[in-house]
Structure 1
């Protein structure tokens, strides 16, 4: 007697659906977390721009289009087939008009191929390849320009955000000063004017906080525009500025050499110079005419009655035209050379200017960090203690508070200024330091 085996419960499909749902939810959470973190660091913004920028995509497409022109530039012209129908009225045979090759007096077929003079195809290919190099360099220049703008935008975004935090901290400090003034006023040690002035100071800071919030929104909108995002798209608060390279890596001579070798605009001009050189060589080769070879079978009735060979060559009589073309090509070479040298001098001058500004920003930050800020903090502590003991007026206490705020702002401005200069230096070099 056979026994029926019970079927297992149908749980595989629901379990698979639950797993798929969990995976989808995890992916959404990861994506949302990544979107929420965008803006915290500079590298995330640069990666977003490199992947999403329509300007970069357009420049890369132009470079790809230029690459497709290299092989056609050196290709042979298409062959030409000529068909000649002779005596289509058939008068020689007292026949009637006809257009069939076997029904006319004679049909002549000519197959021709033009062969450029030796070296011309290679020169055309070299000129096209130089244009590819120039287009690629222009795409690199577009990226370095965009990256520099993003770096500068991130530094300004950080400045607005850090200023907002700093003003909030000073506002808390001002509130503490007001409490001291209120306590002294309650004890009859000072007039109500001190407390009122402390409140006015806080009101001014709150008004400045509104301005800083507006500046931060503007900086966020500019960054979003550079990232090809909606202007109101959220960006996380910036965490920190990127570190500055070590001082020994900022040798002017070494950086100048790196600029000559790596600046994309300079590479584009040098590629144009190579292309102009190839064009000039091609103009000189045009003194030698191209050859056209052909084979010409003749048909009479339904059979080939004869064969012929053809050689065609242009007679170089228009020497004035060729000399003008050669002179034009030479002038284009000279112009490309001069543009390349002028651009190199300009870029080297810009590099020297940015290096000097970066060094000044470094020194300014060091001076504020080691001298102004510690002195201001010590002065505020001393002023607060002296005011509590009645040995200092409230105006001096407010001035000490403003001094520490100014020192912190000066350090922050020097840090941001150094990053702005670094962004320009990296744009000039065409690479990160």
Structure 2
């Protein structure tokens, strides 16, 4: 008895390990798994991360102090008068050190503008992540949609094949005319064509997912998800409240607005006089001279009016763009929410009765056809009604998931890497 139990346990562990190995080799992946894989491997995100690094390097550059300048000059004296009057010739050397004193208001504004550039780059990266995650989610459910349509067309092809065999037997026995068999052959070929097209569309959707994940998915992967997955989102009022604080594009434009404002401060502070500290050491055969002073550049004739006006205009452009995009993104949220609600009602309508009634009608038509009470045309009509209903249901389920993905994109909600 113990040996039998041990054998069963060993078999169970073996099957578990085999299932785990199948999943690891490319079996099933959840929607979040595929999104994470795409976010880690996509080259466009790597480029966006590099932009953040570049912006952070810009902060380092903006925080640097100006370097001093050292000038060294040397050369012989060439007397123009007799040596008895000037003394013997000698070598002279001069070293001059110049250190700019940076305007603190210019420095503060420049560093602040660079830091705002970092925030804008991070918002760009967040936008790229949200866009890619939403795109992956839509493509995943499009793959499930294509696969569901392919399964539906396969069922129809099998049904048409069964009816064709029954009609062929009836024709051979002389019960019905050969014309019915020709019609059945045509319907089988049409169903086979639709089935082949649906399978090819499924492969196209699979290839699109492989492309978005940069080939990190195995070629024969499977998705652990369904078009009927529940969609759970906050209420519309909560989404309206949180959207301005979470939408990456609004955050980027706000960072650009801060950068434009600080650029105005920088240009206006640049009008103030700039000062350099000077120190000079002069030596010749007879004398050593140490002098210090200041060099002041006074903006007397040109006070950077053009640069200030350009900065003001750029700030106005960013502010107007921000106001418009806030309004537009709010409308996009409303539109996506309405699309989601419409798709949800369509799903409920088809799942609630239309598909069930169409299936029941097809079963009745098939039974009547087998008993000889109905002809082939009625089976075809009920089959087409069911096909249309199933197609509409699958399309409505996909539209529901796509609308939810758009809402998550707008609020930058996605699985983290």
For Structure 1 versus Structure 2, the TM-score category normalised by the shorter chain is 0.7 to 0.9
- Verify the 8 A CA contact 1:294 1:309 in the aligned structure 2: yes
**2:226 aligned with 1:241:** yes
* 2: CA distance, partners of 1:88 / 1:138: 64
Inter-CA distance 32–370: structure 2 relative to 1 (3 Å threshold)? closer
Inter-CA distance 115–37: structure 2 relative to 1 (3 Å threshold)? farther
* 2: CA distance, partners of 1:32 / 1:169: 28
* 1: CA distance, partners of 2:58 / 2:251: 20
Gaps (5+ residues) in structure 1? 1-28, 96-102
Aligned to 1:308: 291
**2:261 aligned with 1:261:** no
Aligned to 1:20: none
Q: Aligned ranges for residues 4-403 of structure 1 at < 5 Å? A: 33-37=23-27, 40-85=29-74, 88-89=77-78, 92-95=86-89, 104-105=91-92, 107-178=93-164, 181=167, 190-229=176-215, 234-241=219-226, 243-246=229-232, 249-301=233-285, 305-319=288-302, 321-403=303-385
Provide the aligned C-alpha RMSD in A. Answer: 2.8
* 1: CA distance, partners of 2:174 / 2:40: 67
- Verify the 8 A CA contact 2:355 2:389 in the aligned structure 1: yes
Aligned to 1:22: none
Higher relative contact order (CA closer than 8 Å, sequence separation 6+)? 2
- Offset, 1:274: 0.5
- Verify the 8 A CA contact 1:189 1:390 in the aligned structure 2: no
- Offset, 1:394: 2.6
* 1: CA distance, partners of 2:75 / 2:24: 78
Inter-CA distance 254–359: structure 2 relative to 1 (3 Å threshold)? same
- Offset, 1:280: 0.6
Residues 90-136 of structure 1: per-residue CA shift (max 9 Å, x gap): 664432xxxxxxx524x332222111223221111000111111111
Residues 271-304 of structure 1: per-residue CA shift (max 9 Å, x gap): 11110011011112122122211232333449x8
* 1: CA distance, partners of 2:44 / 2:35: 14
* 2: CA distance, partners of 1:235 / 1:386: 42
- Offset, 1:49: 1.5
Q: Give the secondary structure class of the aligned counterpart of 1:287.
A: coil
* 2: CA distance, partners of 1:257 / 1:274: 22
Q: Give the secondary structure class of the aligned counterpart of 1:432.
A: coil
* 2: CA distance, partners of 1:154 / 1:274: 38
- Verify the 8 A CA contact 1:123 1:281 in the aligned structure 2: yes
Aligned to 1:25: none
* 2: CA distance, partners of 1:344 / 1:31: 48
- Offset, 1:264: 1.4
- Verify the 8 A CA contact 2:157 2:195 in the aligned structure 1: no
- Offset, 1:184: 6.0
- Verify the 8 A CA contact 1:111 1:294 in the aligned structure 2: yes
Q: Give the secondary structure class of the aligned counterpart of 1:114.
A: strand
- Verify the 8 A CA contact 2:160 2:191 in the aligned structure 1: no
Deviates more, 1:378-387 or 1:405-414: 378-387
- Verify the 8 A CA contact 2:100 2:277 in the aligned structure 1: yes
Under a length normalisation based on structure 2, what TM-score does the superposition of the two structures give? 0.84
- Verify the 8 A CA contact 2:366 2:379 in the aligned structure 1: yes
- Verify the 8 A CA contact 1:289 1:314 in the aligned structure 2: yes
Q: Give the secondary structure class of the aligned counterpart of 2:223.
A: coil
Inter-CA distance 282–180: structure 2 relative to 1 (3 Å threshold)? same
- Offset, 1:259: 2.4
- Verify the 8 A CA contact 1:184 1:388 in the aligned structure 2: no
Deviates more, 1:59-68 or 1:170-179: 170-179
Residues 321-375 of structure 1: per-residue CA shift (max 9 Å, x gap): 4233222221111111011112222222222222111111111111000010111
* 2: CA distance, partners of 1:32 / 1:82: 73
